[in-house]
Amino acid sequence: MKLWAGRFSKEADKKTNDFNSSISFDSRMYREDIEGSIAHAEMIGECGIIEKSEAQAIIKGLEDILADIDSGKLTIDPDAEDIHTFIEGELTKRLGQTGKRLHTARSRNDQVAVDIRLYLKKQIKEVTAQVKELVTVLCKKAEQYSDTVMPGYTHLQRAQPITFGHHLMAYAEMLLRDIDRLEGAYRHTDAMPLGSGALATTTYPIDRTVTAKLLGFSDICQNSLDGVSDRDFCMELASVLSIIMVHLSRFSEEIIMWCSWEFKFVELDDAFSTGSSIMPQKKNPDIAELVRGKSGRVFGDLMTLLTVMKGIALAYNKDMQEDKEAIFDAVDTVKMCLTAFTPMIDTMKVLPENMRRAAANGFINATDCADYLVKKGLPFRDAYKATGTLVALCIEKKTTLEELPIEEYKKICETFDEGVYDAISLENCVNGRRVLGGPAGENVRAQAKRVLSLIEN
Ligand code: ARG
C-alpha cells in the first residue's frame, strides 16, 4: 500500500510503479537512511514531540533493521517505491502504531537530501584516500627516477631534456589540486538539510542543532527551500571527479604511448596488461585504455546532473530523483579506475636506456647549445640562428650535435670551443635546470618530499 493511500482511490499501475521507483539505486543508502532516522527519532523524542519511550522503541527497531539488512536476514523489497518508504514500512510492520510516529516533522524531501549527503561524505573520504595513495606511489617512483633523463615534449615533438621523475611529479601536482578540490566538495556536502521538511520546515518545535550534532554535520542548511532542493554538492563532486578523470585519462594516454614499440619507455606488469586472442606477440595496455575511455562516463554524469538541475523551479521536484544514478556512477567509476590505475603505475617497469636513447636523438639539447653561446656574450637571437644552422647541418650529415666535430661548429660561429660538448651533455642540460619547478634530480627529490609531507596530514 502506498504512503498516500488515503488520498487515492486506485493502486498504482505496475509498470508506472517501476518507472516511479528509485529503490533499485537508492537502496545502497539504507545505512544512511537508518542513521538519519535514528537521529530524527532521538531529536523528536528529546523535544517532546513524541514520547521518549516511543523514540527509544523506534531507535531500537531501526537498529534491528540495520543489523538484519547487514546480515542478509532482511532483503530489501525491489517493489518498494524507495529506500525511505521501505525502511519506514518495515519499522511499522515490526512496531505497529509506534513505527508510524517516526515521520512526524519530516518529509522524504529532507530525508533523501540528508541521506545523499551522509553517503557522499563517506565516499569523498574514500576517493580522497585513493588519490593520496596514487600521489604517494608517484612521489616514490619520482624519487627513484629523479636522475633518469627522458625527452620532454611539446606538440609531441622532442623539445628539451627532462627527468622521468619530473614528468611523474607533474601528475602529482595535478592530483594534489584534486585532493584540495575534493576537500572543497566535502565542505559543501557537510551541511544538514533535515528539518527543512517538504519545503517550509514544520510547526513542531524541532531542534535542528541536535540532529546535526548526532549526524556529525558541521553546518546546517540555512534556508529550507534550498535545503531540500540544493544538489550543488552533487554537481560540484561530479565536476571534481571529472577533472580527476581528465588527469587519469591524460596519464593513461601517455602510458599507452610509452608502452608502444615506438617509445618503449615503460613496460606494464603482466598482472596489469592483457594479451590478444589472435596475435601472440601482443601485450596490451587495456587498463590504461579503459581508464581513458571511462572518463567519458564521468563527464556524462556531470552533464546529466547539470541538465537535470538547470530548469526546475524551487523546491523539490521528482526530476531530482535522477541525481543519484549519475553521482553514484561517477563515484563508482573513479574509485574503480583508481583501484586498477595505482597498482598499474606502482608495478610498471621503467626503461631508462630507451628514454635516454630517445633523448639523445632529437636535438633536444639545441636550446642549451644556443644558451652556451649566449653565456659567451652573443645575443640570444644570433645564438638561436647559429644553432638552427648547426641542426640543419647535422640533419644533412646524418649526425648529432654531440658528434659533430668542433671545426664544423667554428665554421658556423667563431665563438664555439670544446666547452660546447660539456654544455650540451644531457646530464648537464637537465642538472642545469635547478630553478624552482625544474627537472634537475635534486629538484625532483625535493618536490617529492614536499608533496609527501603535504598529503601526510
Ligand atoms: N525517491 C525520491 C528521490 O530520490 C525521494 C523523495 C521523494 N519525495 C517526493 N516528494 N516524491 O528524490
Domains belonging to the chain, first-starting first, are 13-108 (1.10.275.10), 222-359 (1.20.200.10), 360-456 (1.10.40.30)
Q: Select from 109, 115, 196 the residue to mutate for testing ligand 1; criterion: most ligand atoms less than 8 Å from CB.
A: 109
Assess whether the C-beta atom of 109 lies below 6 angstroms from ligand 1: yes
Q: Considering the candidates 9, 155, 247, 295, report the single residue annotated as catalytic.
A: 155
The answer to whether the peptide bond before residue 360 is cis (omega within 30 degrees of 0) is no
Assess whether the C-beta atom of 416 lies below 6 angstroms from ligand 1: no
Percent of the chain scoring above 70 in pLDDT: 99
* Residue with grid cell 653565456, as numbered in its chain: 375
Is 27 labeled as catalytic in the residue annotation? no
What spacing in Å lies between the alpha carbon of 112 and ligand 1's midpoint?
A: 7
What's residue 1's pLDDT?
A: 67
Distances (CA, A) of 277 to 55, 260, 280, 282: 62, 18, 8, 9
- pLDDT band for 256, please (50, 70, 90 cuts): very high
Contact 69, 30 (CB under 8 A): yes
Closest residue (by CA) to atom 10 of ligand 1? Answer: 109
What is the overall mean pLDDT for the chain?
Answer: 95
Is 155 labeled as catalytic in the residue annotation? yes
pLDDT digits (tens, 9 = 90+) for 54-105: 999 999 999 999 999 999 999 999 999 999 999 999 999 999 999 999 999 9
Contact 104, 47 (CB under 8 A): no
Q: Considering the candidates 276, 277, 425, 453, report the single residue annotated as catalytic.
A: 276
Q: Select from 112, 119, 323, 328 the residue to mutate for testing ligand 1; criterion: most ligand atoms less than 8 Å from CB.
A: 112
* Residue with grid cell 531501526, as numbered in its chain: 62
What spacing in Å lies between the alpha carbon of 108 and ligand 1's midpoint?
A: 6
CA 80, 81, 87, 93 dihedral sign is negative
3-state helix, strand, coil in the chain (%, to 5): 65, 5, 30
pLDDT digits (tens, 9 = 90+) for 119-152: 999 999 999 999 999 999 999 999 999 999 999 9
Assess whether the C-beta atom of 82 lies below 6 angstroms from ligand 1: yes
